[in-house]
Chain A
Amino acid sequence: MTASTHSNSGAASKKDGGFLSSLRGFFGSQEGILLIVIIVLMVAVGTSNPRFLSQTNLKDVFAANAYIAVAALGVSMVIISGNIDISSGALVGVLITLSGNLAVGLADAGWPLMLVNIIAWVAPLIGGMVIGAVNGFFVAYLRIPAIVVTLGMFSILKGGLILVAGGNTIYNLPEGYTIAQQDWLGIPSTIYFMVILTIVVFLWLRYSATGRSIYAVGGNAEAARLSGINTRRVIMITFILNGLMVGICSLMLATQFNQIQATAPPGLEMFVITAAVVGGVSILGGTGTVLGSTLAAILVKTIGSAMVFINVSPYWLKAVQGTLILVTVLVDVLRRRRQSRQ
């Protein structure tokens, strides 16, 4: 999928040169390919089963699953910096439970509704950042491999959640809490979250010094250190930001229905990593854009939905995800090897 010799970190390549050549650059890139595949897929499935393109279904594909794209933004940053995080699913479970319980508890205790909702919305963000900081501490300062830290954190959070909430459902959410159900100016609110956050993170990674340094740390940590970049601080920041994104994702998920399932959404972490990797964030670190990961999240969800409409059992979706990761990673590794032979 990635064939270009132009940097896939979003910087520089698009602005200069003629409009046509930058257009060509876009479509040769991972992001462009993803967009084309999405469109082709939708057209193909839409013609064979027009109900696929109905408003309810499209709303489902894009709006109801926007939370995944938001979480993918966070994990993308972690992967670009050369690490990984497989704990997102469990963290989401914990945070939605936190938010839901706070909302119900405070509302029952008679607190003003507006305050209750705000607290319940902000809590997952803070909780996410705290856990992110813990992960970041172990990885950056104690130098423990991220896979082990997040594997451990995953099981701690998952186990802890079962212990505390045991798979309950949280009802009686206060009025005004479920913002993910709202439409603003005719567009579902979750779409706003997804689009705005993608743009903000993309711009931050491309135009801020700290954002750029994430690519440096992931690309050549030693060189980054010698350039004066504080690699530990950068890694810490990526994990905290990841925690924030997971927090926002939890917010979106928690406020989507009239009740909350106090469990970790199964398979979320793999979905999110798939989105990042297929989106062009090389799992080897140092490259990739979040535009790609958002598009890839949309693509995988589109495939999932398409499978239903062309009568392929949805139980094959995970296999499709696994194959996508494998193929993308394979292409990436082979490309890098060919390149370094020169």
Chain B
Amino acid sequence: MTVSSNEAPAQSGFSLRALLIRQEFILFVITIVGVLLLATQSDKFLTVDNILNQGRLVTEVALVALPMTLIIITGGIDLSVGSIMGVCAIVLGYSWKNLGFPLELAIAFTLVVGLVAGLLNGLFIVRLGLPPLIMTLATFALYRGLAEGISQARSVRGYPDWFFEMGQKNFMSYEKGVPNQLIIVVIAAVIVGIILARTPFGRGLYAIGNNEMGARFSGIPVFLYKLVIYSFSGFMAGMAAWIYVSRVSTTRSDMGTGLELDAIAAVVIGGTSIFGGSGTIIGTVIGLILIQLLKNGLALSGVKGDSTTIVVGLVLILAIVLNNFIQNPPEWFKRRFASS
């Protein structure tokens, strides 16, 4: 798996022209256009109810897309987030129903399991030098296998009412309020975004993505940072599991299937280079909105649920081609729009 890092500048300087061809800006424009289009297509679209509901639906992907951004910035990838979510969902149900944990403990345990699953990824990647693609491909299979094995295809139901607060209710239980999980997502996005942009940790991640050896030689604790981001990824997948189970009131071993696709697509569409070294949380957020928008639009025009992946796949590939184009423009483009 040879992935070369590109030589383009990590973050372009400020100039109107540079702003215009930044991926985030283009996306933003596309998003606005998309919103307008869909609003004219269906009158059910631009209602507060629908928008908030979409926010509820996008939570799981959003939660794992945040650490995924960090991971891809460092030049890595995490294919196992969907499987971690699956095994966490199962663990939640299993530890409550079969092991008799009090539900609060089961939830906490689930989060710990997610963290440990991510930590395992990180350890093998850092200590044993396994390429992230390969390690997370193996755990993609392994964790899903554990989910199937532990659950034996049985689902767990019958949770107490308070459990559904998180997934199904709104903030302070307003009838037309903001869904609880959306608040969590927004807070998480803000925190992670600030950390990425304004702290030495964030700066260090960009350095690792551009030149890991150079970062190490500069005293940046590369191994530690990597352990942190992969563990964080697992933890968020655990959170996603908790919220999802709370929303759909049941646990099944195939939960989270395809989560990695959506998360990676959101990150890449948001302007993060798949080769590492650049990207922002804002971009990822816009990417998430765009994808959810697409899914919503498709659903409103009667397209069957799972087939929305066709669009996500297309958009993913288009986004990467676009990203490549921006990072390594061909000669004819450079001559016309020479950037700083």
Contacts and interface: CB of A to CB of B under 8 A. Distances in A.
Direct contact of A and B (CB under 8 A): yes
B143 A152 contact: no
Contact of A333 (B1, B130, B148, B306): B130
Interface stretch (B44-52, B155-163, B197-205, B312-320): B312-320
Nearest to A329: B134
Interface string B236-260: 0000000000000000010000101
B142 interface: yes
Contact of A313 (B137, B149, B275, B317): B149
B1 A84 contact: yes
A163 B129 contact: no
B131 A284 contact: yes
Contacts of B146: 319, 322
Contact of B316 (A151, A160, A318): A151
B77 interface: yes
A322 B136 CA distance: 10
A322 B258 contact: no
Nearest to A317: B145
B95 interface: no
Contacts of A334: 128
Contacts of B313: 151-157, 159
A148 B145 contact: no
B306 A162 contact: yes
Nearest to B258: A155
Contacts of B308: 159
Interface stretch (A2-10, A45-53, A114-122, A139-147): A139-147
Residue from the set A144, A155, A156, A318 with the largest chain B CB neighbour count within 10 Å: A155
A285 interface: yes
A270 B152 contact: no
Given A285-B1, A319-B149, A158 B144 contact: no
A284 B132 CA distance: 12
A283 B310 contact: no
Contact of A147 (B77, B128, B129, B306): B77
A337 interface: yes
Interface in A149-185: 149, 151-160, 162-163, 166
Chain B interface size range: 35 or more
Contact of A274 (B141, B143, B307): B141
Contact of A325 (B133, B141, B144, B303): B141
Interface in A256-311: 270, 273-274, 283-285
A283 B134 contact: yes
Contacts of B148: 315-316, 318-319
Contact of B320 (A144, A319, A330): A144
A147 B76 CA distance: 12
B320 A155 contact: no
B307 A160 contact: yes
Nearest to A86: B137
Given A144-B321, A163-B303, A322 B145 contact: yes
A138 B320 CA distance: 10
- The CB with the most chain B CB atoms within 10 A, among A317, A318, A323, A329, is that of A318
Interface string B311-336: 11110110011001000000000000
Nearest to B314: A156
A153 B316 CA distance: 9
A83 interface: yes
B1 A284 contact: yes
Given A318-B141, A322-B141, A322-B142, A148 B306 contact: no
A149 B253 CA distance: 27
B3 A319 contact: no
B183 interface: no
Contacts of B140: 270, 322
B149 A148 contact: no
Contacts of A166: 304
B145 A321 contact: yes
A160 B310 CA distance: 6
A153 B79 CA distance: 16
Contacts of B324: 142-144
A313 B253 CA distance: 15
A43 interface: no
Contacts of B309: 155-156, 158-159, 162
Q: Which of A84, A157, A163, A321 has most B Cβ within 10 Å?
A: A163
A124 interface: no
B71 to A, nearest CB: 13
Contacts of A162: 304, 306-307, 309
B117 to A, nearest CB: 12
B317 A158 contact: no
A82 interface: yes
A326 interface: yes
B316 to A, nearest CB: 4
Given A142-B324, A318-B149, A155 B316 contact: yes
Given A142-B321, A156-B314, A322 B144 contact: yes
Contact of A138 (B3, B312, B317): B317
Nearest to B316: A152
A274 B145 CA distance: 13
Contacts of A313: 149, 152
B299 to A, nearest CB: 13
A248 interface: no
Given A163-B303, A322-B144, A149 B139 contact: no
A221 interface: yes
A151 B148 CA distance: 23
B306 A159 contact: yes
A283 B312 CA distance: 27
Nearest to A337: B129
A33 B30 CA distance: 55
A334 B261 CA distance: 30
15 contacts: A148-B274, A151-B261, A155-B309, A156-B317, A162-B306, A163-B307, A284-B1, A284-B134, A316-B149, A319-B149, A323-B142, A326-B142, A329-B138, A330-B124, A330-B128
Given A155-B258, A160-B307, 7 more contacts: A143-B324, A147-B79, A163-B304, A315-B151, A316-B145, A322-B145, A323-B145
4 closest residue pairs by CB, A with B: A322-B142, A159-B310, A319-B145, A318-B145
